[in-house]
Amino acid sequence: MADRERRMTPPYGGVFVARTTVLDAAQVHRALTRISHEIIERNQGLEDVVLVALQTGGVEIARLLSRLLFEIDGVDVPTGTLDVALYRDDIGLRPVMPEAETDIQIDLGGKVVVLVDDVLFTGRTIRAALDALTDFGRPRSVQLAVVIDRGHRELPIRPDFVGKNLPTRRDEVVDVNPEGVLLGEMRK
């Protein structure tokens, strides 16, 4: 769950109450290590690979991935952040967070962009991100890495790298944080 959801008022937000731990910190680390290897394998190295983290949930994950990629392959992969609030189809329903900044210093033309987020749910954030990316150049390809794929897609979007597939109810909430992944719900 991103900071954005935490701040939303009912009926969209509330207080997150955890029910079960899905992954602990070590398991998240192992999943990200595997994803790092998969990114390198898929792209036959890290040449032209750029990580773009989605604000706000993807930022910490991308930081970890970038460190792991460096440990494995010795390459310092360029990393940017992207906030898609201005591209969403539900503008007005979600708070816009001025501090969730977009910071992409490089031309994405010809690059392999790996979008990084914590949770893949309806796919609408990714749809917005794909729109936003085109304003920064024309990437050679765009791939998607997420820690949790929780299903309930509303658009034809699929991830390339997944930490864990987690069947959920639509009204449940998945919280990814440095200590692990929790499943629970929002209480008013």
Partner 1 sequence: MTNHLINLTDMDPDAIRELLHLTDRFVEVNGRPIPKVPALRGRTVAMIFFEDSTRTRMSFDLAAKRLSADVVDFPTHTSSLSKGESLQDTVDTIRALGVDALVIRHNSDGLPGQIAEAVGETISVINAGDGLKAHPTQGLLDAYTLCQHFHGSAGAKASLEGIHVGIVGDIKHSRVARSDFAAYRSLGAQITLVAPPNLQPTDPENWPVEITDDLDSVLPSLDVVGLLRIQKERMGEAVISSVDDYVDRYGITESRASGMRDEVVIVHPGPVNRGIEIAAEVLDKRVNVLVNQQVTNGVAVRMAVLFRLLGSGVEID
Is the Cβ of residue 25 or residue 91 nearer to partner 1 in the bound state?
91
CB of 53: closest distance to partner 1 in angstroms? Answer: 15
Cα 41–Cα 47–Cα 50 angle in degrees, nearest 5: 90
Which of 71, 76, 135, 179 binds partner 1 (CB under 8 A)? It is 135
Alpha-carbon distances, residue 66 vs 11, 133, 147 (angstroms): 36, 20, 14
Four-point Cα dihedral 85, 28, 166, 171, nearest 10:
-50
In angstroms, what is the minimal distance from the CB of 87 to partner 1?
Answer: 6
User: Is 131 near partner 1 (CB under 8 A)?
Assistant: yes
Q: Determine which residue in the list 101, 154, 165, 177 makes contact with partner 1, applying CB under 8 A.
A: 101
Least Cα distance to 103 among 136, 69, 57 occurs for: 136
Instruction: Tell me the two tokens of residue 174.
Output: 């998945």
Contacts of 9 (CB under 8 A, 6+ apart): none
For partner 1, what does the binding mask look like between residues 9 and 48, x meaning CB under 8 A?
A: ----------------------------------------
We find the least distance from the C-beta atom of residue 56 to partner 1, in angstroms, to be: 13
47 in Cβ contact with 66 (< 8 Å): no
- Site residues for partner 1 per CB under 8 A: 83, 85-87, 91-96, 98-99, 101-103, 107, 131-132, 134-137
